[in-house]
Homo-oligomer: A and B are copies of this chain.
Amino acid sequence: MPLKARVGIIGLGTVGSGVLRLLAQQGGFFSSRLNIDLTVSAVSARSAESLDTAPAGAYRTTDPMEICARPDVDIVLELAGGCEGPLAWISAALRNGKHVVTANKALIAAHGPELFPLAAKYRRVLAFEGAVGGSIPIVKTLQESFVANDIDGMACIINGTCNHILTEMTDRKIPFLDALKEAQALGYAEADPTLDVEGMDAAHKLAILAALSYRKFVDYREMSVTGITQITPLDLELAGESGYAVKLLGVLEPGPDGNLFAHVYPALLAKGHPLASIHGVSNAVFVKGSAAGSHILSGPGAGGLPTASAVVGDLIHVCRQMGNNLFSEHTVNCMPREEKMQLVPIGALVSEYYLRFTLNDIPGAIGEIATLLARYGISINFALQKVLPGRAGVTILILTQKSRELDVRDALAKIHTFPFVAGKTQLLRIYR
């Protein structure tokens, strides 16, 4: 007897239409080889034009809430995006006994603590592979393949827009705003790019990866989140000359007392690091499992078809879970709000730093800076003084040895009182 599952789809944008295409292409295989018969029984979309693309026989509506209540829907795919609507729809769907698949990272990051316990209560699956890293199977890997591992650390490139902009800025030495405008023209950046370029989208995804890795709720609002708007082509050039690439990273590392280091910032990566060669809109996760060792998973971080691939993968996963009586693993690792991990403040970091000073060109400036850094216990790995064509004053680059971030910040505050300092100092962390 094949398993019959009736699917309701909310949203027929690029992901939703990708899902319809994949179901049409692969439906025969699902039926003949996996013994799973899928029917799209109901669809909601905002426009009549979109609804016209729904499969024959599917109920059509502009009201997503209808999809979540219909008795002929077993599994709801929430592919509309946004937060408030989807929270209401998914909650209703779970209460009505439906399994749910979503690719909505903002929703899972913010409302996971309500939604996962709700799914567990009604013994339904809430699957979300497409929420992080597009078609990269990182959610399944953390929940299933690495189930016997503690996660010793993670660094990830999980915002394709930022990675694309940084790649273009590096390769073509163009400023951030020019690269952003091009990315918008290419459709790689939104009209309002704030969520991406300020790092908040990466923070949403990092919070989800943290919850999967450490099995407690991690609140992205408590992270230190720095985007890429302050990165200049000069930084990328100086970093490159020193053997580093600059990437926007989400970083996880277990800290003392069961706390977690979980922050988003642009970081220098030695060019030999596997993440340093992830270019353009690609995403990648570098994850260290206590038993499995160090792994890289990389691929397209977004896009209609890659995300649809993840959604349909989840859909089949849900079908396979429908018959069993275990709590689904997709409900167990994201915990209610009370089980929240405390974050290690980013100021507690001990790291190597990239410091770029902009100074008036007076004799002895580099000496005074080095002396002051030494007074704060900060040793120097590499120092370079340059007069740059077309740039007033002098640029000094210092790469520090491992130092406490609080010491570095204190030292910078002191240095900024020096009369020869002509501009804001750029501080970037080096990820090893």
The yes or no answer to A432 lying at the interface (CB within 8 A) is no
Q: Please tell me if the beta carbons of B148 and A309 are within 8 angstroms of each other in the complex.
A: yes
Q: Which of B129, B140, B295, B323 sits near A136, CB closer than 8 Å?
A: B295
The yes or no answer to A380 lying at the interface (CB within 8 A) is no
Q: Please tell me if the beta carbons of A33 and B324 are within 8 angstroms of each other in the complex.
A: no
Contacts of A240 in B (CB 8 A): none
Q: Which of B298, B313, B324 sits near A147, CB closer than 8 Å?
A: B313
The yes or no answer to A410 lying at the interface (CB within 8 A) is no
The yes or no answer to A417 lying at the interface (CB within 8 A) is no
Q: Please tell me if the beta carbons of A293 and B313 are within 8 angstroms of each other in the complex.
A: no
Give, as a whole number of angstroms, the nearest-CB distance from A334 to chain B: 11
Given A320-B329, A323-B324, A144 and B140 contact (CB-CB distance below 8 Å):
yes
Q: Please tell me if the beta carbons of B323 and A323 are within 8 angstroms of each other in the complex.
A: yes
Q: Please tell me if the beta carbons of A294 and B299 are within 8 angstroms of each other in the complex.
A: yes
Contacts of A146 in B (CB 8 A): 135, 137, 309, 313
The yes or no answer to A3 lying at the interface (CB within 8 A) is yes
The yes or no answer to A317 lying at the interface (CB within 8 A) is yes
Q: Please tell me if the beta carbons of A300 and B306 are within 8 angstroms of each other in the complex.
A: no
Q: Please tell me if the beta carbons of B300 and A297 are within 8 angstroms of each other in the complex.
A: no
Give, as a whole number of angstroms, the nearest-CB distance from A318 to chain B: 11
> A22-35 CB contact bits vs B (8 Å, 1 = yes)?
11011001100111
> A12-30 CB contact bits vs B (8 Å, 1 = yes)?
0000001000110110011
The yes or no answer to A292 lying at the interface (CB within 8 A) is yes
Contacts of A68 in B (CB 8 A): none
The yes or no answer to A61 lying at the interface (CB within 8 A) is no
Q: Which of B140, B293, B327 sits near A306, CB closer than 8 Å?
A: B293
Q: Please tell me if the beta carbons of B145 and A326 are within 8 angstroms of each other in the complex.
A: no
Given A137-B140, A297-B297, A332-B33, A26 and B292 contact (CB-CB distance below 8 Å):
no
The yes or no answer to A371 lying at the interface (CB within 8 A) is no
Q: Which of B23, B292, B309 sits near A135, CB closer than 8 Å?
A: B292
Q: Which of B34, B140, B295 sits near A298, CB closer than 8 Å?
A: B295
Give, as a whole number of angstroms, the nearest-CB distance from A119 to chain B: 14
- Which one of A36, A145, A149, A296 has the highest number of Cβ atoms from chain B below 10 Å of its Cβ? A145
A312 CA to B150 CA, complexed, in Å:
13
Give, as a whole number of angstroms, the nearest-CB distance from A95 to chain B: 22
Give, as a whole number of angstroms, the nearest-CB distance from A297 to chain B: 5
The yes or no answer to A228 lying at the interface (CB within 8 A) is no
Give, as a whole number of angstroms, the nearest-CB distance from A11 to chain B: 18
Give, as a whole number of angstroms, the nearest-CB distance from A312 to chain B: 4
Give, as a whole number of angstroms, the nearest-CB distance from A331 to chain B: 10
Q: Please tell me if the beta carbons of B137 and A327 are within 8 angstroms of each other in the complex.
A: no
Give, as a whole number of angstroms, the nearest-CB distance from A103 to chain B: 13
The yes or no answer to A141 lying at the interface (CB within 8 A) is yes
The yes or no answer to A106 lying at the interface (CB within 8 A) is no
Contacts of A23 in B (CB 8 A): 148
Q: Please tell me if the beta carbons of A292 and B296 are within 8 angstroms of each other in the complex.
A: no
A303 CA to B294 CA, complexed, in Å:
13
Closest to A284 in B: B296
Give, as a whole number of angstroms, the nearest-CB distance from A38 to chain B: 11
The yes or no answer to A308 lying at the interface (CB within 8 A) is yes
Give, as a whole number of angstroms, the nearest-CB distance from A346 to chain B: 28
A50 CA to B134 CA, complexed, in Å:
45
Chain A residues 185 to 200 lying within 8 A of chain B, measured CB to CB, are: none
The 7 closest A-B pairs by CB, nearest first: A323-B324, A135-B292, A295-B299, A137-B145, A148-B312, A291-B309, A292-B309
Cross-chain pairs A/B with CB under 8 angstroms, 6 sampled: A18-B291, A135-B289, A137-B144, A145-B310, A320-B324, A320-B329
